[in-house]
């Protein structure tokens, strides 16, 4: 069933002769490169059809603006641009009946040129839960549209709502949204017939968005087709290894869903994934699917946190002084980024992440813990490098997660991961370490996980071309644990913790399924 959107025809100002009576409904794609479950596209289709029924010439235009100002932000990397280009290409190939216009330029300038070239009936887009730069851009676009007399309709990002002050009934609303119909469908767009415009010039005076000149490496490829293939392969079979493999850096590459980049860049909506998961679980009530499903809600839980308190991008959410423990150190930061810390599992994770754009959740938590707790680096110092490496970089998840793992929220248990213990538990045979840190591949376990544990005689017999750890592990972890727990107990930090809980956690009600504090694990990304 198609959705119905209420709107005022008088506001749309249908009558026009300036552009030969052709009115364009412009769908502005940002981080939502898909066709199904795309509310802005659904609204544009319905309104254009309604205009046609009244005898008007209405058409659709799909627009992507590759904004230099955004891509110059330090958290964005060529691998992200490559994924976006692949995603956009897949839409153009599958639905050639629409004009797919992609240009390089700043949004206000591009949209200004567009509105001078064609008559714009309305612009439709999703609300972008992004960084401060994208918010400021949207404010500038809103002001420009008002000056041009053009309507811009924004649609919510899943269950995330702007202006939300508390989490009252958030869980119930999330479930209602996840069970709502997925529209529009692929078939709806295929049924849309749009006359070609041989005389329509789409040369807006801006360069076209071309294939990024970057080696894609072994990162996942973008596009709806790729996303659906990953989803189907996981729900058909790979889920069987999910529960056992989610924490293991090698096994997770196959047993986890690997859907996080497709959700981050909008090749799939969370609702599509949730409904496919629900159907699969009815057929295969396996514990792997149960474990996967329990994490889907956490994704938008964290994005809502960021939307409600977006200063997390640049400052700790808890203002109680929990970050006084950390110290910037460019040398330590660089060695951590390069995978040269002298701790094999940490270095294996950093090198793997740099090469592939992927790392499972447990290892993500571990490398952040090592950087912030052992090396004492501020979470803000490690943020940029990780954002650039994660192919699934999603601002609404990235910043709350970094703060939680660094222990500066004041509401979460301080989790300090011992990388040697993690290696023995999650890479027991040492194969992952051997693959990414060949300098220690000839050593047996447990020395492969902790080469500094060898005796002086053993070290002399087999010298390594591999650095010793920058910091002695156990004392550093102990100092971090003591400092952070002590900071959490201050009146300032406790007061902030209560404020944070009141803002970001739904209070339990009779019959409600609340988000219990003790289970606030942060497993959010449907990996």
Q: What residue spans define the domains of the chain? A: 9-191, 224-297, 313-519
Q: Which residues pair with 103 in a beta bridge?
A: 65, 208
pLDDT in tens, 476-488: 999 999 999 999 9
Q: What is the CATH number of domain 9-191?
A: 3.40.50.620
Tallying the residues shown for the chain, one arrives at: 527
- CA-CA distances (angstroms) from residue 307 to 128, 136, 310? 10, 14, 5
From the list 403, 346, 361, 181, the residue with the least C-alpha distance to 259 is 361
End-to-end CA separation in angstroms for the chain: 31
Residue 172's φ and ψ, nearest 5 degrees, are -65, -40
- Alpha-carbon distance of 368 to 416, in angstroms, equals 9
Q: Radius of gyration over alpha carbons of the chain, in Å?
A: 25
Tell me how far apart the 2 most distant CA atoms of the chain are, in Å. Answer: 90
- Alpha-carbon distance of 2 to 213, in angstroms, equals 40
Helix ranges restricted to H, 74-148: 78-94, 107-117, 132-148
Position 11 scores a pLDDT of 38
- Alpha-carbon distance of 498 to 505, in angstroms, equals 10
Residue 303, number of CB atoms within 10 A of its CB: 22
- Alpha-carbon distance of 166 to 175, in angstroms, equals 17
Helix ranges restricted to H, 196-329: 224-236, 242-245, 252-255, 260-264, 270-283, 287-308
Q: Which residues pair with 154 in a beta bridge?
A: 125
Is the previous residue joined to 184 through a cis bond, with omega within 30 degrees of 0?
yes
- CA-CA distances (angstroms) from residue 268 to 2, 78, 221, 465, 511? 19, 21, 14, 45, 32
Position 1 scores a pLDDT of 32
- Alpha-carbon distance of 378 to 368, in angstroms, equals 10
The answer to whether 344 and 448 have CB atoms below 8 angstroms apart is yes
Q: What residues in the chain have per-residue pLDDT under 50?
A: 1-17, 198, 510-525
Position 515 scores a pLDDT of 41
**What CATH architecture does domain 313-519 belong to?**
Orthogonal Bundle (1.10)
Position 507 scores a pLDDT of 62
Q: Which residues pair with 152 in a beta bridge?
A: 123
């Amino acid at each position: 069933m198609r959705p119905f959107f209420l709107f005022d025809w008088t506001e749309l100002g249908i009558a026009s002769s300036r552009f030969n009576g052709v009115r364009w409904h412009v769908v502005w794609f940002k981080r939502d490169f898909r066709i199904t479950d795309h509310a802005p596209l659904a609204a544009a289709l319905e309104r254009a059809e309604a205009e046609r029924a009244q005898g008007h010439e209405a058409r659709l235009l799909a627009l992507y603006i590759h904004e230099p100002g955004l891509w110059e932000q330090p958290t964005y990397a060529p691998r992200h641009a490559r994924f976006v280009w692949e995603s956009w290409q897949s839409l153009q190939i599958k639905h050639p009946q629409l004009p797919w216009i992609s240009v390089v330029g700043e949004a206000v300038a591009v949209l200004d040129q567009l509105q001078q070239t064609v008559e714009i009936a309305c612009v439709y887009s999703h609300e972008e839960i992004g960084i401060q730069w994208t918010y400021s851009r949207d404010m500038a676009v809103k002001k420009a549209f008002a000056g041009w007399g053009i309507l811009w309709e924004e649609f919510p990002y899943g269950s995330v709502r702007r202006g939300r002050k508390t989490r009252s009934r958030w869980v119930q609303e999330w479930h209602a949204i996840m069970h709502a119909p997925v529209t529009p469908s692929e078939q709806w767009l295929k049924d849309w017939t749009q006359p070609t415009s041989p005389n329509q010039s789409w040369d807006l005076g801006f360069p076209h968005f071309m294939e990024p000149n970057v080696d894609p490496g072994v990162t996942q490829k973008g596009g709806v087709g790729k996303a659906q293939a990953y989803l189907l392969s996981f729900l058909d079979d790979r889920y069987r290894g999910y529960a056992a493999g989610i924490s293991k850096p090698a096994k997770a590459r196959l047993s986890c869903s690997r859907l996080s980049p497709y959700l981050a860049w909008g090749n799939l909506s969370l609702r599509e994934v949730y409904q496919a998961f629900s159907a699969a679980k009815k057929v295969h009530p396996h514990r792997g699917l149960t474990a996967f499903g329990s994490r889907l809600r956490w994704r938008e839980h964290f994005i809502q946190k960021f939307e409600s308190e977006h200063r997390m991008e640049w400052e700790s959410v808890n203002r109680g002084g929990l970050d006084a423990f950390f110290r910037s150190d460019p040398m330590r930061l660089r060695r951590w980024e390069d995978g040269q810390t002298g701790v094999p599992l940490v270095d294996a994770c950093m090198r793997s992440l740099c090469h592939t754009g992927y790392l499972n959740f447990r290892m993500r938590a571990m490398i952040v813990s090592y950087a912030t707790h052992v090396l004492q680096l501020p979470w803000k110092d490690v943020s940029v490098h990780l954002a650039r490496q994660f192919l699934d970089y999603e601002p609404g998840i990235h910043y709350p997660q970094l703060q939680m793992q660094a222990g500066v929220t004041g509401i979460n248990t301080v989790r300090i991961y011992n990388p040697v213990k993690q290696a023995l538990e999650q890479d027991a045979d040492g194969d992952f370490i051997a693959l990414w840190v060949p300098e220690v591949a000839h050593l047996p376990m447990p020395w492969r996980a902790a080469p500094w544990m060898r005796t002086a005689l053993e070290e002399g017999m087999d010298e390594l071309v591999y650095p010793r750890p920058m910091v002695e592990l156990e004392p550093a972890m102990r100092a971090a644990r003591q400092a952070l727990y002590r900071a959490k107990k201050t009146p300032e930090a406790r007061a902030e913790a209560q404020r944070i809980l009141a803002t970001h956690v739904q209070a339990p009600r009779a019959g409600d399924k609340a988000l219990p504090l003790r289970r606030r694990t942060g497993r959010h990304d449907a990996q």
